Chain A
Amino acid sequence: MRGPRQATGPSQTSFSVSAARAIAPATVAKGACGGLPEELDNATKKLRALIVEDEPADVELALCALRRAGLDAVCDVAQTAERFTDLVRKNAYDVILADYKLPNWNGMESVEILRQEGLDVPVILVSGALGELTVVECIKQGAADYILKDHLARLPESVRRAMRETKLRQDHRQSQDDLARSNRDLEQFAYVASHDLQEPLRMVATYTQLLAERYRGKLDSDADRYIHYTVDGALRMQKLVQDLLAFSRVGRHGLALQNSDCNLALQVALKNLEAAIQESGAIVEHAQLPVLVADSSQLAQVFQNLIGNAIKFRGSEPPLIRVSAELSGKEWVFSVADNGIGIAAEHVESVFVVFRRLHTHAEYPGNGIGLSICKKILEQHGGRIWVESKIGHGSTFRFAVPIKPTTKQ
C-alpha cells in the first residue's frame, strides 16, 4: 500500500461541479476554535479533502463545519467514480468525505477504488440517515466513520481522529517495512559475505597447509610454530564462515511446512548423531512425540543440535537424555533434558546468541552456532526456545511450536 501521494496537493481550481465554483474559496483564515492537527501537511497547514457529493450546498455545509472548527480546508469535488479515480491518482488527500447515495454510484465504492489504487486515505461517510445494517456494513468495508448530515458538528473531530489513525497506521506499516527490509539486507549481507569469504579463505587454508607440509622441520622451530598458528587460524575461520553461512541459510528458501511426525524427525537426528552417541555411551529416551505442521528437516536439525549439545557438554556420568512433548494450550512444548554440566543462571539467555560460547575451544570445540540456529528455526515457526538449568545439575531445553491446522497430505 502506498501512503497518500506527497508530490501534489489538490488543486483548488479543479472543482468538477460547476456549482461548486460558485461557492466561496474553500480556504479561510485559521479559525479561532481548535488548532490544526499535527498530521496536516506542514508546508501549507491545509486540510486536503476530496468530497464525493452531488449537492453543492452540502459541499459548502461540510466545509463550513470544518472551518468553524479551525480546519483550514481545501477541497476537490467528485460526482462520478471516474472523476474520483482521476483525482486520487493525481492528488494527495488527507481525507475523503463521501455521500452514500449519489445518482450514478455509491460513495462507498470510493473505499474500493482507494484499495485498488493502493492508497491509504480515510473515508468518512457524510450522509443522510442510513439503516444501522448499512452503516455497520460500510464500517466493515473500511469506512472510517459515519456522520449524519444533520450533525455536521461532529465532522471536524471525526476528521481529526481519522487522520490520526491513518498516520499511526502508516507509521506502523512504515516501521514494519523498514524492519523487514533491514532484516532482508542483513540476511543477504551475511550470506554474501560468508559465501564470498570462502574463496580467498580456501586459498589461505590450502596454501598454508602446503607450506606446513613442504617446510615443516626445514626452517626453524619458530617457523614451524608460526605456520601451525596460521593453518589453525585459517581452518577455524573457515569453519566460522561455513557456520555463518549455515545460519544465514536457515529459512532462506522458506519453510517447507507439512504434517511432520516428530518421532521421525528425532530418528533422523539420532541417526546423524550415531557416532557421538556410541562414543559417549549416551542413552536417549523418548516419549511418543506428536505429529504437527512444521518443516520436518528443520525440526530434525533442532533435535540434533540439542541432543548433540547434551552429549558434548556431558558431566562425569554417561549422558542420559530424555526427549518428550506435551500439549500446552495452543502449542506443543518439547523438552530435551540432560544430566550434563548445566549452565549458570546468568547465561541461560545468552547461549542462544550467535557465536556465543561459554568455554574455550580446548575445553569444548565448536563455534556457538547450534543454539542460535535452533532459535532461528523456532522463531520462523512462530515458536520459541528457552532453557532451565543449574550448574552441575543438567539442563532442560524446552521449545514451543504453535499448533497450526494440519495440512492435507
Chain B
Amino acid sequence: MKNTPEILMVDDNPADIDLTSEVLAQSEGHFHVNAVNDGVEAISFLRRQGKYARAPAPDLVVLDLNLPRVDGCEVLSNIKSDPALARIPVVIFTTSQADSDVSRSYKLGANCYLRKPGNLQEFVAVVQSMAEFWLGFATLPQKEKK
C-alpha cells in the first residue's frame, strides 16, 4: 500500500501556497502539501531540525526562487549537495522568466523549471501536470530507511 505523497512547497506568497494546495487537494493523487515560507525553514524541514524533527521526508520539493532570508538557489544547492537529500526531485516554481535564473537553476541540479502562469486555468494545469508527472509517472529512487 502506497503512502500519500508528501510535497514540500517553499514559497513566501501565501496566495500561491493556497492555490497550489487547493489544486492538489482536488486532484486524484491525494497529495499532502507541507508549506514553509522561507529558505531557512525549508532547510530545517528537510533536515528535520528543531520544530521539524517529526516532519515527513518529502517526495517532491516545489521551490520558489525569490525567498526571504535564504533564497531558492541556496536551498537548491543545499539539497543537491547533501547525499541524504539529493535524490528528492526539486521543481523550481517561480515568476522569474530570466534566462539567467533558468540556467543557474539547472546548473545547480534543479529537476525542472516551471514558470507560474498568470491565469487560473494555466496555473491549475501546470500544478496538476507537475504533480502527476513527478509523483505518478516518474520512477524515483526509494527513500532511504532511517
Q: Is the CB of B119 within 8 A of A235?
A: yes
The residue in chain B whose Cβ has the minimal distance to the Cβ of A202 is: B118
Residues of B within 8 A of A205 (CB): 118-120
Q: Is the CB of B15 within 8 A of A203?
A: yes
A255 at the interface (CB under 8 A from B): no
Residues of A within 8 A of B134 (CB): none
Number of B interface residues at 8 Å Cβ cutoff, please give it: 10
Known: A198-B95, A202-B95. A207 touches B15 (CB 8 A): yes
The residue in chain A whose Cβ has the minimal distance to the Cβ of B22 is: A210
**Candidate in A198, A202, A205 with the most chain B CB atoms within 10 angstroms:** A202
A202 to B120 CA separation, bound complex (whole angstroms): 9
Q: Is the CB of B19 within 8 A of A206?
A: yes
Residues of B within 8 A of A201 (CB): 118
Mark interface residues in A163-199 (1 if CB within 8 Å of B CB, else 0): 0000000000000000000000000000000000011
Residues of B within 8 A of A202 (CB): 95, 116, 118
In the assembled complex, the CB of B17 is this many whole angstroms from the nearest CB of chain A, namely 12
Residues of B5-23 at the interface with A, using a CB-CB cut-off of 8 Å, are 13, 15, 19
A213 to B124 CA separation, bound complex (whole angstroms): 12
In the assembled complex, the CB of A9 is this many whole angstroms from the nearest CB of chain B, namely 49
B123 at the interface (CB under 8 A from A): yes
In the assembled complex, the CB of A256 is this many whole angstroms from the nearest CB of chain B, namely 14
A235 to B121 CA separation, bound complex (whole angstroms): 13
Residues of A within 8 A of B95 (CB): 198-199, 202
Number of A-B contacts (CB under 8 A): 30
A14 to B139 CA separation, bound complex (whole angstroms): 83
A203 to B19 CA separation, bound complex (whole angstroms): 10
A20 to B13 CA separation, bound complex (whole angstroms): 75
Residues of A within 8 A of B119 (CB): 205-206, 209, 235, 238
The residue in chain B whose Cβ has the minimal distance to the Cβ of A206 is: B120
Residues of A223-245 at the interface with B, using a CB-CB cut-off of 8 Å, are 235, 238
A206 to B17 CA separation, bound complex (whole angstroms): 13
Q: Is the CB of B15 within 8 A of A213?
A: no
Q: Is the CB of B120 within 8 A of A198?
A: no
A79 to B103 CA separation, bound complex (whole angstroms): 59
Known: A198-B95, A199-B95, A203-B15. A209 touches B120 (CB 8 A): yes
The residue in chain B whose Cβ has the minimal distance to the Cβ of A198 is: B95
A207 to B95 CA separation, bound complex (whole angstroms): 16
The residue in chain B whose Cβ has the minimal distance to the Cβ of A209 is: B120
Q: Is the CB of A213 within 8 A of B118?
A: no
Residues of B within 8 A of A235 (CB): 119
A233 to B19 CA separation, bound complex (whole angstroms): 21
In the assembled complex, the CB of B7 is this many whole angstroms from the nearest CB of chain A, namely 19
**Candidate in B118, B120, B121 with the most chain A CB atoms within 10 angstroms:** B118
Having A206-B19, A209-B121, one finds 16 other A-B pairs with CB under 8 Å, namely: A198-B95, A198-B118, A201-B118, A202-B95, A203-B13, A203-B15, A205-B118, A205-B120, A206-B118, A206-B120, A207-B15, A207-B19, A210-B19, A210-B120, A235-B119, A238-B119
List the 3 closest A-B pairs by CB distance, nearest first.
Answer: A209-B120, A206-B120, A202-B118
Point out residues on A near B: beta carbons under 8 Å: 198-199, 201-203, 205-207, 209-210, 213, 235, 238
Could you jot down 26 A-B contacts, CB within 8 Å?
Answer: A198-B95, A199-B13, A201-B118, A202-B95, A202-B116, A202-B118, A203-B13, A203-B15, A205-B118, A205-B119, A205-B120, A206-B15, A206-B19, A206-B118, A206-B119, A206-B120, A206-B123, A207-B15, A207-B19, A209-B119, A209-B120, A210-B19, A210-B120, A213-B120, A238-B118, A238-B119
